[in-house]
Structure 1
């Protein structure tokens, strides 16, 4: 189907999206009630989904058999469902030898590409996080999920997802009255802002039970979804000191996080426990340029902007330089990491033709973000988010400073010194210690963190009333002139204090792995039963196999590393190594015994073979495995081996 015909089919769907996008913009501009805006946004999402599904159905299809791929991955134990002999646990997976090696190689490549090349500071922080930390970060208020349990089996369900699924099922029933359908729609729209009691009332009203067993459910309970980023933020002072007080710098961490899934599905895409690889790049909020931006300025990316999404337009290809210059991407540092993310994903096996960056619309932006783009990969499940790249501004460091009273800031050298007026509350620590004992430090810290307006009020109260009530939580401390004084003076500053902004690339490792599996699952042209994984050598679980042509004892001295002593023809053994994605295969045959000793080296994807001296083989395989040379370089240097395996084997 040609592009013109395709666009004719999509045009009315694009128009419906734009119509709704314009309505959302108008409602926001007019200051419409929040519920009206939420309803309009919900309808916009529905229309966008219809458009995207239609686009995918009309796009050129890739030959892909998911069942065959899953069979290969399970048979070769890349991964399998956790606790399979007990029936398995949905949304949890165990990696086998090949999956572990692939994941380890992917993370090693990530460290090389980001941590080492960008000179980042790697940390490894505890998963268990005190609630005050997540309260300060905003996760308790915004990312805490309400859960309910099956009273008999103990199975947990995320309540907002459960209610949404239940009410949508009721609304789809032809027997349901229009009044009830409207009520269901209103509740679904309001879910995001509902309290625990309001959700509990919905459960009762609609007699909700476990969707799996039909058993009764418990009352809603709080369940927090952790993330790995906060460990970096709370260690900011130590990291800044380690970096000798210099900005910009980046910290990185690989760790596990958790997701509250009501019905985990789609393999590694929706799981309850997953590995994340996150970077927090700290920079001057008034200067988000990047010193290496010019190196990637001409990198082309497929960008699906928020504006295009609301207007029903497709994603557009442009260079990251143009996108930043136009203000489509907020700043150079955000753009730099987007380009680097694309380079990394493609290097590790993601198909560049099935990769795009989608910008978050205002209504879906996280509370801490001022701009965010998701690297999405097209799979048989549709477009899935694999990497998020957000400008978190100075939100996190500011929140933790307010919560702890500890300044999480950096110093910036001024071009010229400046004189400033200083107003501060100076405590009499000895008297405070005598009067308030263990609370004295709390009072002293609170006084040092008072805003100028608070210090002015303190001075006024002391001068006219003789005392001041310092309220900290539920405690009130009465202070007099002997306990605290207000000092005003001028000082010359050579540096100013700034709270850094943060640019955060966040990789969902399992999702990246799944996209790479799909994009590299292949079938031989003349034998669809012969499937293999064309993983790039840099992430392939094993780099090279060594296959003796036969069990002849004379071959033994030449077999150094990997030995396949299984039975079968050389072609069948190659097929087995292809299934576990080994990119190169060395065959030791009778010519190896002759002087000068040589072996055959086979490349997995093309099945081409060359003859290489035994003394060269280790260097050649190493160079191929780590992208120092490519296969065409080797073919041009060494003679081809014409007795190729039968492609029908």
Structure 2
């Protein structure tokens, strides 16, 4: 991993930001090679989860007003465990201190008091200075960056810790674009911010990062996905049951088998696990070092009923690349309670139905004098109670809660009644299945899984065996030497290939072998050399990165040949 990190800095994949001013941990700049790789990874994600799935894409603001996170629960439940060293003052993730220095693998699922006890029991020390942490309190630390919207005191806001809330808050408008038909999906690729206690492992845990998220809205009683489209995908599943029994064997099941055996409980979750696996393989994640791990009960986020993490093995550790979560109706229900808009969809019945509905018609002449300014709130509480529990109106008095206080209303003053109504449909709150990807983590894993060393002509070479679709550059163009018109011909050829839509680099520095090695090191899949034969017969040498094989190709055919190779429509061995 140290060699990969050195390569990343030296060749412009990524490096710590603002190093001229000392830098701040958790912030990285993608250099020219890394920015191109990241952009290509994002485009393949957009192709799979937006275009091919028929979903819509939005781009919401990164600054979000506080009420959104009050409704979502992030203000109360988006925390990590912090322990501070009394000696040097450094703060650390308490669960990471435990996991790094004991056999415990899931300390984040433990309560803070238990983590304190484990630190004391094992006499764990500060990772920075070595001072004992025993006796130091472990506290919950909210990860969101706060800000102020507007001048002065302004309005409190936060940098979003995920892109999801932008899609939830805009649901009333998005459902109109979807013609109020379920299922439909809203996707977003954008920046998220988390004030990590102890950023580490390069792009794995940062304070600013890019996420690619899909919020897929479904009818909980509606039809599931067409699993025949993913019938041949085998999922490496590491269930919660296997983890809790200390098992290390994965179950390799198709989505249909996983559902039938009860390993995965939701059809849409199984479907998106299959789509995700295929995408990770497409961008270059090694399937021998890949799995889906189910969250343990104490590990689940406050909004999830189930979640499976796509994980890749990097440097001996399993890192989370994606979470596929069943968020049920949590998000839309919360925003429906707090926001002044409609977060339901009207579900049309095949035929009208006659149903009994409990209604109230409160006597406001009684509620007004009795409850003053709370009268309207009391009336709303009575209406909600009638819908939820009509038996509450069986007695002479009805008790409801308003602003945390219980109030009692004579039943005769509520206007309670049960009426028969004919309905053509009903309003439902959709459930949400969310595949959420960490783009930077995917990029880092792709680099780690494709970094290789081999020997060519008696020399060791470093090579990135990136899929052509995501490689920063598709083709390198070289003159054999920059004289006798070779340089001019090569530069013209590079310009023509760029005009054809290919990503091209031109290099005439050093001997041809060194130029090949430079492109191998950054993952360029193909190289073209213009030599003296090119001036005679209008052909060039085309070289394959992985095999180092070379063939002669007509210049007039070159753009189509390289594009076909990069798209996977042609094989180099067939040229």
Question: If each structure's strand is expressed as a fraction of its own residues, which one has the higher value?
Answer: 2
Greater Cα shift, 268-277 or 408-417: 408-417
> Could you tell me whether the CA contact under 8 Å between 1:532 and 1:581 is conserved in 2?
yes
Partner of 2:527: 585
How far does residue 618 in structure 1 lie from its aligned partner after superposition? 1.1
Change (3 A) 1:431 1:234: farther
8 Å CA contact 1:521–1:533 kept in 2: the answer is: yes
- Equivalent in the alignment of 1:498: 428
Matches within 5 A, 1:165-176: none
Which secondary structure does the structure 1 equivalent of 2:63 belong to? coil
Aligned partner of residue 276 in structure 1, secondary structure: strand
Deviation sequence 1:411-441 (CA, Å, 0-9, x none): 3232332111233345799999999999898
1:320 deviates by 2.5
Task: State yes or no: 1:112 paired with 2:47.
Answer: yes
> Is contact 2:399-2:406 (8 Å) kept?
yes
Deviates more, 1:86-95 or 1:242-251: 86-95
In the TM superposition, what are the counterparts of 1:522-541 in structure 2 within 5 Å? Answer: 522-526=452-456, 529-541=460-472
Task: Give the deviation of 1:393 after TM superposition.
Answer: 1.8
Kindly state the Cα deviation for residue 564 of structure 1 after the two structures are TM-superposed: 2.9
Displacement of 1:515: 1.0
Residues in 1 aligned to 2:393 and 2:441: alpha-carbon distance in whole angstroms? 55
1:407 deviates by 4.3
Distance 1:549 1:434 in 2: 95
Q: Which of 515, 519, 522 is 2:449 aligned to?
A: 519
Q: Give the alignment partner of residue 516 of structure 2, picking from 574, 578, 594.
A: 574
Deviations 1:105-142 (A, max 9, x none): 11011101111000111122233333433233233333
Deviations 1:503-547 (A, max 9, x none): 111111111111111111111225564212111111111111111
Q: Secondary structure at the match of 1:581?
A: coil
From the superposition, tell whether residues 436 and 551 of structure 1 become closer, same or farther in structure 2 (CA, over 3 Å). Answer: farther
**Corresponding residue for residue 603 of structure 1:** 544
Q: Which residue of 2 aligns with 1:322?
A: 257
Structure 2 counterpart of 1:263: 198
2:525–2:546 CA contact under 8 A, matched in 1: yes
Q: Partner of 1:337: helix, strand, or coil?
A: helix
Q: 1:428 to 1:366 in 2, by over 3 A?
A: same
Query: What is the match of residue 30 of structure 1?
Result: none
Shift of 1:483: 11
Q: Answer whether contact 1:150 1:210 (CA < 8 A) is retained.
A: no
Say yes or no: does 1:232 pair with 2:148: no
SS of residue matched to 2:57: strand
Measured after TM superposition, the shift of residue 70 of structure 1 is 2.0
**1:392 alignment partner in structure 2:** 327
Whether the 8 Å CA contact 1:333–1:503 is kept in 2: the answer is yes
Alignment CA distance shift 1:310-1:460 (3 Å):
closer
CA RMSD in angstroms comes to: 4.1
Q: CA deviation at 1:577?
A: 1.4
Instruction: Give the secondary structure class of the aligned counterpart of 1:525.
Output: strand
Residues 144 and 519 (structure 1 numbering): CA distance in 2 closer, same or farther, change over 3 Å? closer
After TM superposition, the score normalised by the length of structure 1 is 0.72
CA contact 2:113–2:138 (8 Å) conserved in 1: no
Aligned to 2:224, the other structure's residue is in SS state coil
1:128 is the counterpart of 2:70: no
CA 1:495 to 1:87, structure 2 compared with 1: closer, same or farther past 3 Å?
same
Distance 1:428 1:624 in 2: 76
Query: Partner residue of 1:643?
Result: none
Looking at structure 1, the residues matched to 164 and 364 of structure 2 have their Cα atoms a distance apart, in angstroms, of 37
Q: CA shift at 1:612, angstroms?
A: 1.3
Distance 2:374 2:43 in 1: 49
SS in 2 for 1:280: strand
Give 3-state SS (helix, strand or coil) of 1:250's partner.
Answer: strand
> Contact 1:285–1:394 (CA<8 Å) still a contact in 2?
no
Equivalent of residue 26 in structure 2, options 91, 107, 124: 91
In structure 1, C-alpha distance between the alignment counterparts of 2:90 and 2:59, rounded to whole Å = 29
> Residues 148 and 221 of structure 1 are in contact (CA less than 8 Å); yes or no, is this contact kept in structure 2?
no
1:58 — aligned with what? none
Structure-2 change in CA distance of 1:220 and 1:455 (3 Å): same
- Unaligned 5+ segments in structure 1 are 1-65, 173-184, 636-649
Residue 547 of structure 1: which of 466, 475, 478 is its match? Answer: 478
Aligned counterpart for 1:302 among listed residues 217, 236, 260: 236
Task: State the shift of 1:193 in Å.
Answer: 5.5
1:471-496 CA-to-partner distances (Å, cap 9, x unmatched) read 64279999999998556532212223
Describe the SS at the equivalent of 2:473. Answer: coil
* CA positional deviation for 1:287: 3.6
Distance 2:130 2:24 in 1: 15
- For structure 2, the 5+ residue unaligned runs are 145-160, 499-503
Q: Which residue of 1 aligns with 2:142?
A: 223
Distance 1:380 1:81 in 2: 20
CA–CA distance in structure 1, aligned partners of residues 569 and 441 of structure 2: 28
Aligned to 1:322, what secondary structure does the other structure show? helix
Quote how far apart the aligned CAs of 1:161 are. 4.6
Please state how far the C-alpha of 1:261 moved relative to its aligned partner.
Answer: 3.5
The change in CA–CA distance for 1:491 and 1:151 in structure 2 (over 3 A counts) is: same
CA distance in 2, matches of 1:262, 1:245: 42
Q: Which residue of 1 aligns with 2:569?
A: 628
Structure 1 residues 40-81: Cα deviation after superposition (integer angstroms, max 9, x where no partner): xxxxxxxxxxxxxxxxxxxxxxxxxx2322222111011111
Residues 182-193 of structure 1: matches in 2 within 5 Å? 192=111
Cα distance change on mapping 1:159 and 1:426 into 2, 3 Å: farther
Q: What displacement does 1:456 show?
A: 7.8
Shift of 1:449: 4.5
